[in-house]
Structure 1
Amino acid sequence: MSEATRPDMKVVLVTPEIPGNTGSVGRSCVALDLELILIRPYGFEITEKSVRRAGLDYWQHVRLAEYDDWAAFIAHRAPRRDQIFLFEDDGTGGTVYDPIYPSDAYLVFGRETKGLQPEILTGMEDRTFRLPMRSPHIRSLNLANAVTAVAYQAMRGRFD
């Protein structure tokens, strides 16, 4: 894939809590050549061995950006509304299969225990999507698994 046709999609983790999930998401980002953006505060130190362990020896290849909070991220990146795709268990904008993802999309996920903060979700109901689950016995998926499933769907049709 040439630089000119490479997708510039990004995965954004807002206040991630579990280092192993962040490491695994980083590994998926390397596999798909996506930038990983982390929004503080974290529930761990980014230098922890558990982050690197989950990312294996791929962590050094993660295209990583960090921001102190959501406001700093928005101010610096200034994403267009149509670039933002928020993911929640109860997303009201439809499922991950509904949108057409632009190549410069921001795929945004919240913390493992509470999801995205209300101030991020307010007014973005049409930009909030869910990953469908068929079983009534499951409330949610592991964050790393959800990010990987969504990222592959968003990248569909972009592989050589």
Structure 2
Amino acid sequence: MNIILFEPEIPANTGNIGRTCVATGTKLHLIEPLGFRLDEKEIKRAGLDYWKDLDVTVYENYDDFLRRNPNAKIYMATTKARHVYTEVSYEPDCFIMFGKESAGIPEEILLENKETSIRIPMIGDIRSLNLSNSVAIVLYEALRQQNFDHMRLLGNLHHHSWEEAK
């Protein structure tokens, strides 16, 4: 799986998304300009010590991304989409793109990708969800459709720790 962040502005969101990508074996693609430097403390703090394990690529702009990924199947996450994110069948190597926090994905890009645009349902006039929450929601649906391939599905409960908690 691949997550694309189009011109992200808030370092904590990108750090959180980076951590989610490491936890899921997902590649992160960042399209400049970024609203921060990649060496900023906030990014590392939000991504904790996982940032060093992140598979991340930075692109000059959207055209640079398209040039370097000519066969990319891209789903565009936007509040303007007609399709709900659960109605899509995600391919294992697809890309899911999210726009910058203040403005989303530019309309001209969305118009070229109407059929692969997806939305997370919300009530009322809520403008959008937090970017890192949105990435987690859609990414985990795509991973669920792949049966969480290569991910650990079982946890371990240690009986004695439950006894101590009483």
Q: Residue 154 of structure 1 aligns with which residue?
A: 142
> Unpaired runs of 5+ in structure 2?
152-166
Matches of 1:154 and 1:73, distance apart in 2 = 21
The residue identity in structure 2 corresponding to 1:143 is L
**CA drift at 1:139:** 2.1
Matches of 1:158 and 1:103, distance apart in 2 = 10
**CA drift at 1:148:** 0.5
Q: Residue 71 of structure 2 aligns with which residue?
A: 79
1:145 to 133, 142, 149: 133
> Once the two structures are superposed, what CA deviation does each residue of 1:85-114 show, in whole Å capped at 9, x if it has no partner?
00001212x111001000011010000010
Q: Residue 111 of structure 1 aligns with which residue?
A: 100
Q: Which runs of 4+ in 1 moved over 3 A?
A: none
Matches of 1:137 and 1:73, distance apart in 2 = 32
Q: Residue 121 of structure 1 aligns with which residue?
A: 110
**CA drift at 1:136:** 1.7
The residue identity in structure 1 corresponding to 2:139 is A
> Unpaired runs of 5+ in structure 1?
1-8
Q: Residue 3 of structure 1 aligns with which residue?
A: none
Q: Residue 26 of structure 2 aligns with which residue?
A: 34
**CA drift at 1:124:** 1.0
The residue identity in structure 1 corresponding to 2:138 is V
**May I ask how many residue pairs the two structures share in their alignment?**
148
Matches of 2:113 and 2:74, distance apart in 1 = 9
More displaced stretch, 111-120 vs 29-38: 111-120
Structure with the largest fraction of helix:
2
For the aligned residue pairs, the C-alpha RMSD in angstroms reads: 1.2
Identity rate of aligned residues, in percent? 38
Matches of 2:7 and 2:71, distance apart in 1 = 19
The residue identity in structure 1 corresponding to 2:103 is K
Secondary structure at the counterpart of residue 158 of structure 1: coil
> Highest Rg: 1 or 2?
2
Q: Aligned runs of 1:84-103 on 2, under 5 Å? A: 84-92=74-82, 94-103=83-92
Matches of 2:91 and 2:125, distance apart in 1 = 33
More displaced stretch, 112-121 vs 61-70: 112-121
**CA drift at 1:137:** 5.3
